[in-house]
Structure 1
Amino acid sequence: MVVKLYYDAMSQPSRALLIFLRSNAKIIPVEEVPVALRKGEHLSKDFANVNPFKKVPAIDNDGFKLAESVSILRYLCRTFPVADHWYPKDSQKQARVDEYMAWQHLNLRAFGSMYFRTKIINPMMGLPVNEDNLKTFGKQLDDVLGVIENIWLKENPFIAGKELSVADLLATTELEQPGMAGYDVYKGHPKIAAYVSAVKAKLQPHYDDAHVFVYKLQAKAKL
């Protein structure tokens, strides 16, 4: 049951799946299929046959095609005998993972993505940086980071409890994104800094491998 992963490492959820599949390579046979968003490869007719929404990530598991990172992570955890901590079978522990995955779309993912898009993607498309929007998204992102520290990480070392889960893959890859636009998510947020370090330590070398290009852009943004 080979899983083809269609991804672009510039995409946060793509990186989350890339790390997950590489961490479970002995359990889940995977074929990595890069899709270059910057070249518009996700808009091709061939890719539309994999994902009609024309977005990454997406998978093809022996003919079963699936889009949306949260759905893909749940499917993989149900289908393959991965360690229980990724997506616990215990109903309450699983609900905590689901709770974060539902929350993140309109919070960390939304504001982090919009800050990145406003500062980086829009200029690449020939659009000027809207400084008012950038300031607004920055304020909203800072508010969300406070919520992560004071609610999600208030009593536990990881997002959904005492153990690493797929929620942490989604959280950390999103936390990395604003850094490419010069936004330091760690400034004034020591819990987040410690949290990301802990997740990285558990997922090496796959975490850093998935972020090679991201780190280059982060370093450039600091110059």
Structure 2
Amino acid sequence: MGLELYLDLLSQPCRAVYIFAKRNGIPFELRPVELRKGGLGLGLGPEGSGRPNTAQGDAGRQPLLGARAEKGQHLSDAFAQVNPLKKVPALRDGDFTLTESVAILLYLNRKYKVPDHWYPQDLQACARVDEYLAWQHTTLRRNCLRALWHKVMFPVFLGEPVSPEMLAATLAELDATLQLLEDKFLQNKAFLTGPHISLADLIAITELMHPVGAGCQIFEGRPKLAAWRRRVEAAVGEDLFQEAHEVILKAKDSPPADPIIKQKLMPRVLAMIQ
């Protein structure tokens, strides 16, 4: 068995892993997961080939894992062997399993010897990428996630109203974080850590597409950040970028959650976005 990636492209870390693997021609089997069908863990759905230079459209889709691809499989003992936390992303490479998106990205970077600009060998250039990766978990990721849930997923998907005051506070916090992203990391550079795209840029853009999927115009009035977004899209490939973000850009059209799914989701979502 070759490299397998368990991903749901609704998830921003999953999108980063997916784009990185595809952009660098890393052969993998995609094990799709649906976060909205069984909790924040996974509900494995139809499979698409993750191999490079292979069409990802409907014609290329196949059933995943045969009869085992059923709703709720993420709760199974089989998936728990890949990730005991039953969350995505997850990687299985033969007998080796790995969780956490940054760890997965670094593993792929080292194993497949991708171009140096993704995670430079130069000590100080590498430290700049590490600095961003250490910063983003509790800042940009948190605020982008809260913006999506407060603006769309709670009222539309779960049918739970969000007060105007809470939504305003969430968006104000996001705006402050975007300013910090510009002032501290982007500054006047082409990319967040230097003249070339790195893992920092890839992880950042996938986070920012969460509020974009919620309808937030976060790049309006921020020409520096908007220009950076265009450079990142061009560097990874616009077609791949759009493919990876197709699901999140349709988040506003999510149908209401099944009551049973809602009951499972609510306590875990509330804990996640506090």
Scaled by the length of structure 2, the TM-score of the pair is 0.75
Farther-moved stretch of structure 1 (81-90 vs 129-138): 129-138
Farther-moved stretch of structure 1 (115-124 vs 90-99): 115-124
Match of 2:5 in 1: 5
Match of 2:272 in 1: none
Whether 2:241 is the aligned partner of 1:210: answer no
Deviations 1:10-40 (A, max 9, x none): 1011111100000112xx3211110111111
1:118 is displaced (CA, Å) by 1.6
Residue-pair matches, total: 218
- Give the letter for the 1:176 counterpart: M
Segments ≥4 residues shifted beyond 4 Å: none
Within a 5 Å distance, the mapping from 1:1-223 to structure 2 comes to 2-25=2-25, 28-40=26-38, 42=42, 43-45=74-76, 46-123=78-155, 124-204=157-237, 205-217=239-251
* Structure 2, unaligned runs of 5 or more: 43-73, 255-274
Contact in 2 for aligned 1:146/1:189 (Cα 8 Å): no
1:188 is displaced (CA, Å) by 1.7
* Structure 1, unaligned runs of 5 or more: none
SS of structure 1 residue aligned to 2:4: strand
Higher helix share: 1
Contact in 2 for aligned 1:6/1:34 (Cα 8 Å): yes
Contact in 1 for aligned 2:201/2:232 (Cα 8 Å): yes
- Give the letter for the 1:195 counterpart: W
Farther-moved stretch of structure 1 (148-157 vs 117-126): 117-126
1:63 is displaced (CA, Å) by 1.7
Scaled by the length of structure 1, the TM-score of the pair is 0.91
CA RMSD between the two structures: 1.8
Farther-moved stretch of structure 1 (172-181 vs 34-43): 34-43
The alignment-based identity, stated in percent, is 44
Contact in 2 for aligned 1:149/1:189 (Cα 8 Å): no
- Give the letter for the 1:196 counterpart: R
SS of structure 1 residue aligned to 2:170: helix
